[in-house]
Amino acid sequence: MKKHKKITLTLMSLTVLLLILTACAKENPRDLADEPIERTEFLLGTIANIKVYNENSEDALDKAFERVTQLDDWFAMQKEDSEISEVNRQAGIAPVEVSEEVFHVMERALYYAEESEGAFDPTIGAMTSLWNIGQENAAVPDEDKLNDVLDVVDYSLVELDEEKQTIFLKEEGMKVDLGGIAKGYITDEAARILKKEGVNTAIIDLGGDIVVVGNSTRGETEPWRVGIQDPFTERGEIMGLVELADSAIVTSGIYERNFEEDGKSYHHLLDPETGYPFDNNISGISIIADNAMDGDAIATAAFAMGVEKGLTYINEMAGVDIIYVTKDRKVYTSENISEKVSISDDSFEKAE
């Protein structure tokens, strides 16, 4: 029987929609423009959108996008001349000297792999390459091929040399895929560049990894209102709100990148232990943190853990919060964020 496949790739965030409200009609000492300076480009395999609300910030916006493009070239596993591709080509052969940025992100990725006991694993590249989720040729891999790569998905087989700034994958066939953390780092870098250039009110959205700079345009002490996407409807339909200022929110969900084969849907969040997508009750997840890089890795780990264990994991962290949306329309939040999350759709229920 011929297989029927339907591929869905969400280019903008399906989990979080940023509600940009107009400024209050009052004096604003931040020199905000009447309309944001905005640009959208296809980078990092997704839609990258930056809005800057300060006047005369065109140069700052240019520099932020230059930085995003540069880092995309270094981190992308799909680009043959990227630093990560060279690390993967030299697996089992030799260490590869990399840039300070790539080394830093790899180091941080291994930290979260260790902390989450492998729930987040940056060596999942050999597995993601078989599935190709998000690409036109996405398909369920041959089981034998999938079993063959399970042994090389092991973060403990990565060797870092801080002095020489090298990464070495000890086993042939290993592949690093930093997609679960690098996009967050790149989002943070865009925000850093904007701030360096004097921007104090902006939104950076790299395919659902969002950093809000400063407070909203409604006033110096007014937070941004971030809408939580309804995972069961079209993009733009929200089921709740959370208020944030000068922080990051990172999203992930089973509908973000997926494909259908023989009537069954497969999402992009793969279990390093089995090689197949995680099968739990979570539909969407949002991590709120000081920076998007940490939020990226934590989101993957918390999704893998499931709601109960994930909430315990997050509640023990300083400066990190979580919002879970489950398939049965329940919304779970970590302790510190609970009062800042409001549900606007009666079909969802905020769990106690």
pLDDT bin (cut points 50, 70, 90) of residue 51 is very high
Is 333 annotated to bind ligand? no
Query: How many DSSP H helices and E strands does the chain contain?
Result: 8, 19
Q: Which of 281, 283, 280, 288 is nearest to 335 (CA)?
A: 288
- Ranges for all domains in the chain classified under CATH 1.10.3980.10: 74-180
User: What is the pTM assigned to this prediction?
Assistant: 0.87
Is 300 annotated to bind ligand? yes
CB 17 within 8 A of CB 204: no
pLDDT tens digits along 115-174? 999 989 999 999 988 887 777 787 888 888 888 899 999 999 999 999 999 999 999 999
Mean pLDDT score, 214-230:
85
Is 180 annotated to bind ligand? yes
Q: Is 234 helix (H, G, I), strand (E, B) or coil?
A: coil
Question: Residue 287: what pLDDT?
Answer: 95
Question: Residue 273: what pLDDT?
Answer: 87
Class assignment of domain 74-180?
Answer: mainly alpha
Fold of 5-58+200-350: T-fold (3.10.520)
Question: Residue 264: what pLDDT?
Answer: 76
Q: Which residues contact 21 (CB under 8 A, 6 or more apart)?
A: 216, 217, 218, 225
| Cα 330 from Cα 341, distance rounded (Å) | 13
Question: What residues form DSSP beta bridges with 267?
Answer: 258
- Ranges for all domains in the chain classified under CATH 3.10.520.10: 5-58+200-350
H-state helical runs in 132-209? 143-150, 182-196
Question: Residue 15: what pLDDT?
Answer: 41
Question: Residue 256: what pLDDT?
Answer: 64
